[in-house]
Structure 1
Amino acid sequence: MVTQINNNSSDTHRIENHVGQKIRERRTMLGLTQQQLADLIGVTYQQAHKYERGINRVSAGRLYEISQALGVEISFFYEGLDNSQNIVSERQRMCLDLARNFTNIKNEKHQDALSMLCRVLSEQSLSDPEAA
């Protein structure tokens, strides 16, 4: 079965934006700067910035290099594409910041303490939703 593709430029732009958002999401989660990502894939900072913003298209080969640098499968960049909500919510942004900041903590005891604090607060919220 062959499906005809609608050459809708707004769909193409939406996909480019989505892929760029996923690149930024993963880079942020790993605690990398745009410059560090650019160095890993052999492009300028400006080019990495344009990829993340969906300004420039990411070629298949470059997307492969980015996936290798960020330690994910290429399919990661297309996850959630069919969802109607492609905008990163404030809560998702907070989660990404939390993950990035957690990976920057070098002291294992501090990581354990923060993890335990999150666990306790989560359990408390589940047992008493009114306290949240």
Structure 2
Amino acid sequence: MDDVSIRLKKKRKLMGLTQAQLANLLGVKPQTISGWERGLSHPKGAQLSSLSKAFNVPKSWILYGNDELANSGSSSCDLIVKIPLYENIQTGVGNSFDLSRNFYPMPSDVIENQENKDSIFCIKVYGNSMEPAFYDGAVLAVNGSRKSVIDGRVYVFRINNRLRVKAIKETHIGIDTNELQLKL
């Protein structure tokens, strides 16, 4: 793979698009996107312009990887922000936390109005015990700065070395906590 194909594939994935979705957005066949990402061909002319607009990057970045966006080391662009992702956290099974992290691309508008944006992180769901609320492989975004409880929302609680995910509902008797059997 050449640098162009690597940049295209990384940027597409960062934006959370499949090859078919990007192809539809650009008005080309999915095979065209596949060919670009495998280095068999490169976007040119109108396709390059459309791709530049879709990715919100200059054409020079697509072709050569050089511009202030590419060289800034920034972890975000106008549409996407990288949020810490803790994939190896286990909940409800008594394991300690493994706090090694990666990053998850999150649409900027999702966290735009959140307080304490630096406190937002993601955890990944493993298993199917929480269906239909959450499916295997789902990513939950957590705002660690929120301390007040709002009726009907789902929360991640840390109790000693365990995490619990609970849906909190207020009833006529009091607060009902429905635990979601979560293996993160």
Using the alignment, how far apart are the partners of 1:25 and 1:39 within structure 2? 18
Higher strand share: 2
TM-score of the aligned structures, taking structure 1 as reference length:
0.51
Higher helix share: 1
Using the alignment, how far apart are the partners of 1:103 and 1:71 within structure 2? 14
CA RMSD of aligned residues (A): 3.5
TM-score of the aligned structures, taking structure 2 as reference length:
0.38
**Pick aligned residue for 2:120 from 105, 109, 113:** 113
**Pick aligned residue for 2:103 from 83, 95, 98:** 98
Q: Which has the larger radius of gyration?
A: 2
Distance 1:113 1:57, change over 3 A: closer
Write the letter of the residue equivalent to 2:121.
L
**1:1-132, aligned counterparts within 5 Å?**
17-77=2-62, 78-79=64-65, 98-100=103-105, 102-103=106-107, 112-114=119-121
Deviations 1:7-65 (A, max 9, x none): xxxxxxx7xx2212111111111111111110011111111111111112322321111
Q: Structure with the greater relative contact order (CA < 8 A, sep ≥ 6): 1 or 2? A: 1
Using the alignment, how far apart are the partners of 1:42 and 1:57 within structure 2? 16
User: Is the 2:4–2:42 contact (alpha carbons within 8 Å) kept by the matching residues of 1?
Assistant: no
Using the alignment, how far apart are the partners of 1:73 and 1:23 within structure 2? 13
Distance 1:79 1:65, change over 3 A: same
* Total equivalences in the alignment: 87
Long gaps (5+) in structure 1: 1-13, 81-94, 118-132
Distance 1:22 1:99, change over 3 A: same
Write the letter of the residue equivalent to 1:113.
I
Residue identity over aligned pairs, in percent, reads 26
